[in-house]
Amino acid sequence: MNCIIELKNLQRYFESEDVTTKALENVNFKINKGEFVAIMGPSGSGKSTLLHILGFLDKQSSGDYIFDGESNLTFEEDELATLRNKSVGFVFQAFNLLPKATVLDNVKLPLMYSEVPEEKWDEIALKCIESVGLGHRSNYNITKLSGGEKQRVAIARALVNNPKILFADEPTGNLDSKSGQKVMQVLEQLNNELGHTIILITHETDTANHAKRIIRLKDGLLIEDKKVTNRKISKNYQK
């Protein structure tokens, strides 16, 4: 496998009124293309700060973040914006969907900021909607969907530009257990069948165990990095 993410002695600290707070301290790890990795930790562990750096929403205070062979410090602001739109996809706990729009219109929204010709938008978006099992809902208004369906729409939208990495930030946090299981099943299928690289941010052990590898943070330190030996596989997905 090829390495897509490498962190070398990554540190992020914040200064306020002569007080320095270390959010991340000397974090080192690699993630290869096609991996499904969960980043775990309690509130204040540094996992959200790490997500912001990995997703090009923030930069480290020191150390290096190498993305697909290039240091993030070499990218200009316009290049970072392009990376956020084309190379990474985000799925958030709160869905962040347009409430008065259809499933199709929500999913194809990122394409409006891409170089893809408009006549191909519907075709690409519908393919992504099908990949999360919602082809029959493509013309539904978002307000008519359940929470689990909304999160699956958010996953389809994150996939529409064919990103190199999909970041899922507490994707089951607002869902009941049944809906959460369905969302995790979709992520498993995207990783196993389509080869998508997925980084899952969660504080829930049950959710993290769907991944193939778990990185644990505590007080800004990486305290564990191991493969999942007793991986939890969704009941409807046994490949």
Give the model confidence (pLDDT) of 24-47 as tens digits: 999 999 999 999 999 999 988 999
Contacts 24+ apart (CB under 8 A), 45-48: 45/217, 45/218, 45/219, 45/220, 46/12, 46/217, 46/219, 46/220, 46/221, 47/201, 47/203, 47/217, 48/169, 48/201
Condensed to tens digits (0 to 9), the pLDDT of residues 190-213 reads: 999 889 999 999 998 989 999 999
Residue 24 CA to residue 54 CA, distance in Å, equals 13
Are the C-beta atoms of 103 and 153 separated by less than 8 Å?
yes
Kindly write down the DSSP assignment for every residue of 120-175, as one continuous string: GHHHHHHHHHHHTT-GGGTTSBGGGS-HHHHHHHHHHHHHTT--SEEEEESTTTTS
* pLDDT over threshold 60, residue 1: no
Q: How high is the pLDDT of residue 87? A: 92
Share of the chain above pLDDT 90, in %: 77
Q: Torsion angle of alpha carbons 213, 218, 222, 226, nearest 10°?
A: -20
Q: How high is the pLDDT of residue 239? A: 38
* pLDDT over threshold 90, residue 113: no
What lies within 8 Å, CB to CB, of 17 at 6+ separation is: none
Condensed to tens digits (0 to 9), the pLDDT of residues 8-20 reads: 999 999 988 888 8
Q: How high is the pLDDT of residue 17? A: 81
| Overall pTM surpassing 0.85 (yes/no) | yes
The pLDDT mean for the chain works out to 92
Arithmetic mean of pLDDT, 67-93: 92
Q: How high is the pLDDT of residue 236? A: 54
Condensed to tens digits (0 to 9), the pLDDT of residues 166-181 reads: 999 999 988 988 899 9
Phi, psi of 208 (to 5 degrees): -60, -30
Arithmetic mean of pLDDT, 55-60: 95
Q: Torsion angle of alpha carbons 166, 222, 52, 124, nearest 10°?
A: 0
Arithmetic mean of pLDDT, 140-165: 94
If you ran DSSP here, which 8-state letter would residue 101 be given? S
Which of 191, 169, 184 has the alpha carbon at shortest distance from 41? 169
Which of 112, 100, 163, 104 has the alpha carbon at shortest distance from 135? 104
Q: How high is the pLDDT of residue 235? A: 56
* pLDDT over threshold 60, residue 118: yes
pLDDT band at 238 (very low <50, low <70, confident <90, very high): very low
